[in-house]
């Protein structure tokens, strides 16, 4: 029988969760949804030296804003496997129990080496031109551990509580083969694998031991994580094997990196061209906060849609997808091995698509506070009409103001290029006549204005539409002109036209 799908997102609270981490959470979420499984948030806080205050709360809030809440775990409700923080799980003694099992079966050992001794070993290896010196089947023979020291001495040291770690005993030359859903079969020789520390001298487990114990105890079916963990996977396979748990081991999926727009490296939080965090993140160790997608005006479902397509190909060129649509068809077979380049312009395009899907009323509600802040009072219907006209021109709601402020306040400047090219005595005369004609328009709406303008072209002479736009709005481009004039209203439009005609000097 297939195992029930239970996946986990297991971040370490070492800082804000960046978009790479959110994508890992998202793929876990989609996979769980697809299979009606469980999605768990486990906090891997065993490295106390890297603990950052506020990080855990940030992770929980970010998953909430993104709309991908786990159904079990820290911040989302206890399940049968509580607690979900590794520092608390340590208190249950589970990691130690598994480590002792490995020691008893001869697959792990105590090591008493001091930092100075480890450093000395590294130097010796470097002098012997070893490229990446490690504690392994060869070097451990010259170190102070329970494999080299006499049994009584080991006992004495342990009884005296001498500082020590527990290390995995990796064989010298053995093929380790494992399957990754995304990468297929991977083969590594054990000579490439170091004797990883499993329990640290402070009694805390390392990630390597802790995540295996927890994945087993929490009955995780698939371990989905970033590519940076692929090099450690062979050691993990050995741990499962030595614990006699290889048949209960979760299936592995290592997700490709998200690359910066040039494709030459991982996206970094120092990247100023686009946000890297879902929500603004203030690292207590840094002065300035990093601005988030939310605060930059992205819709959360647009952000999620962008992330989903970084490395996953749904297969039919479809780009705009709701989370439910994605979950219905998600699988790891269609996740690529190679890094996914992030395109910030495409990200903005996605937001634009989501903005256009909003109702005009919702857009108006988002935009109203901006107007209020500027001291502009307009009724909701007016703002709804405004949003309907201007939404085609913006990617973010905060751009409404810049794009269309002339609707609310008469322009003080007029597009110089158009004015210098087109504003002259002939046109002034023509527009004066148009002004007179427009004054008689009884029903001021887009259609009548369109018709009246067409008539005026016959009666008065060739009228330049772009010039008319500049005289009334100040700018050379924008939404359909007669729609705009209808919105601005008869009195205001004619006042503006009158004022422009009489105040703009000819260029020459």
Residues that bind ligand GLU (CB under 6 A): 10-12, 44, 207, 211, 223, 225, 229
What's the closest the beta carbon of residue 44 comes to ligand GLU, in angstroms? 4
What's the closest the beta carbon of residue 258 comes to ligand GLU, in angstroms? 14
What's the closest the beta carbon of residue 281 comes to ligand GLU, in angstroms? 16
Which position among 64, 200, 251, 269 bears the catalytic label? Answer: 269
Query: What count of other Cβ atoms lies within 10 Å of the Cβ of residue 120?
Result: 13
Query: What count of other Cβ atoms lies within 10 Å of the Cβ of residue 197?
Result: 19
What's the closest the beta carbon of residue 230 comes to ligand GLU, in angstroms? 11
Which residues, other chains included, contact 226 with Cβ-Cβ below 8 Å and sequence gap of 6+?
20, 21, 24, 254, 255, 257
What are the C-alpha distances in Å from 500 to residues 95, 114, 338, 410, 495? 79, 83, 58, 10, 8
DSSP, collapsed to helix, strand or coil, labels residue 162 as coil
Residue 194 to residue 166: CA distance in whole angstroms: 13
Buried b (16+ CB within 10 A) or exposed e, 473-497: bbbeebbebbbbbbbbebeebbebb
Name the residue among 343, 344, 382, 339 with its Cα closest to residue 364: 382
Cα angle 64, 70, 76 (rounded to 5 degrees) comes to 75
What's the closest the beta carbon of residue 417 comes to ligand GLU, in angstroms? 54
**Strand 165-168 relative to strand 108-111: parallel, antiparallel, unpaired?**
antiparallel
Query: Rounded to an integer, what is the distance from CA 281 to the centroid of its chain?
Result: 12
Residue pointed to by tokens 């109203």 = 368
What's the closest the beta carbon of residue 229 comes to ligand GLU, in angstroms? 5
User: Between 85 and 496, whose beta carbon lies closer to ligand GLU?
Assistant: 85
User: Between 230 and 441, whose beta carbon lies closer to ligand GLU?
Assistant: 230
Residue 211 to residue 216: CA distance in whole angstroms: 8
Residue 349 to residue 303: CA distance in whole angstroms: 11
What's the closest the beta carbon of residue 214 comes to ligand GLU, in angstroms? 9
Residue 300 to residue 306: CA distance in whole angstroms: 10
User: Between 44 and 301, whose beta carbon lies closer to ligand GLU?
Assistant: 44
Tokens standing for 154? 């080991």
Q: Report H helices in 374-441.
A: 380-390, 399-408, 416-422, 425-439
Q: CB-based burial of residue 276 (10 Å sphere; 0-12 exposed, 13-18 middle, 19+ buried)?
A: buried
Q: Report H helices in 188-257.
A: 207-217, 233-242
Name the residue among 64, 54, 57 with its Cα closest to residue 25: 64
Q: What share of the chain is helix, strand, coil (3-state, %, to 5)?
A: 50, 10, 40
What's the closest the beta carbon of residue 323 comes to ligand GLU, in angstroms? 21
Residue 39 to residue 490: CA distance in whole angstroms: 58
CB 281, CB 289: distance < 8 Å: yes
Which residues, other chains included, contact 306 with Cβ-Cβ below 8 Å and sequence gap of 6+?
346, 347, 350
User: Between 51 and 229, whose beta carbon lies closer to ligand GLU?
Assistant: 229
Residue 445 to residue 488: CA distance in whole angstroms: 10
- Catalytic annotation on 269? yes
Query: CB nearest ligand GLU: which residue?
Result: 225
What's the closest the beta carbon of residue 248 comes to ligand GLU, in angstroms? 16
**Catalytic sites, residue numbers:** 269
């Amino acid at each position: 029988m297939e195992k029930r799908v239970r996946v986990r997102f297991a971040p370490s609270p070492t800082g804000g969760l960046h978009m790479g981490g959110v994508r890992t959470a998202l793929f876990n979420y989609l996979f769980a949804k697809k299979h009606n499984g469980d999605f768990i948030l486990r906090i891997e806080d065993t490295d106390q030296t890297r603990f950052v205050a506020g990080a855990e709360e940030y992770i929980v809030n970010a998953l909430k804003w993104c709309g991908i809440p786990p159904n079990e775990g820290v911040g989302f409700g206890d399940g049968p496997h509580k607690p979900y923080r590794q520092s608390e799980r340590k208190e249950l003694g589970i990691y130690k129990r598994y480590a002792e099992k490995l020691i008893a079966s001869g697959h792990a050992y105590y090591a008493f080496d001091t930092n100075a001794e480890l450093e000395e070993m590294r130097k010796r290896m470097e002098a012997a031109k070893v490229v990446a010196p490690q504690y392994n089947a060869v070097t451990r023979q010259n170190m102070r551990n329970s494999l080299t020291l006499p049994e009584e001495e080991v006992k004495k040291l342990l009884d005296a509580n001498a500082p020590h770690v527990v290390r995995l005993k990796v064989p010298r030359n053995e093929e380790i083969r494992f399957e990754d859903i995304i990468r297929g079969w991977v083969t590594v020789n054990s000579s490439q694998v170091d004797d990883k520390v499993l329990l640290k001298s402070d009694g805390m487990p390392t990630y390597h031991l802790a995540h295996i114990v927890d994945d087993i105890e929490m009955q995780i079916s698939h371990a989905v994580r970033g590519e940076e963990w692929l090099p450690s996977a062979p050691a993990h396979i050995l741990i499962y094997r030595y614990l006699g748990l290889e048949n209960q081991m979760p299936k592995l999926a290592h997700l490709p990196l998200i690359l910066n727009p040039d494709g030459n490296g991982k996206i970094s939080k120092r990247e100023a061209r686009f946000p890297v965090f879902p929500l603004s993140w203030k690292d207590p160790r840094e002065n300035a906060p990093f601005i988030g997608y939310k605060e930059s005006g992205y819709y959360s479902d647009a952000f999620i849609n962008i992330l989903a397509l970084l490395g996953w190909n749904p297969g039919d060129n479809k780009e705009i997808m709701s989370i439910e649509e994605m979950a219905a068809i998600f699988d790891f077979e269609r996740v690529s091995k190679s890094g996914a380049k992030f395109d910030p312009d495409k990200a903005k395009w996605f937001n634009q698509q989501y903005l256009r899907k909003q109702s005009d009323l919702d857009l108006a509600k988002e935009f109203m506070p901006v107007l209020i802040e500027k001291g502009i009072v307009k009724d909701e219907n007016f703002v709804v009409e405004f949003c309907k006209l201007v939404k085609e021109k913006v990617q973010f709601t905060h751009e409404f103001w810049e794009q269309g402020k002339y609707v609310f306040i008469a322009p003080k400047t007029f597009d110089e290029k158009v004015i210098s090219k087109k504003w002259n005595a002939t046109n002034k005369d023509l527009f004066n006549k148009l002004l007179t004609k427009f004054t008689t328009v009884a029903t001021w709406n887009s259609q009548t204005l369109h018709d009246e303008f067409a008539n005026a072209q016959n009666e008065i002479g060739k009228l330049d539409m772009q010039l008319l736009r500049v005289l009334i709005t100040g700018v050379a481009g924008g939404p359909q002109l007669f729609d705009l004039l209808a919105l601005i209203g008869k009195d205001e439009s004619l006042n503006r036209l009158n004022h422009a005609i009489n105040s703009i000097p000819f260029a020459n």
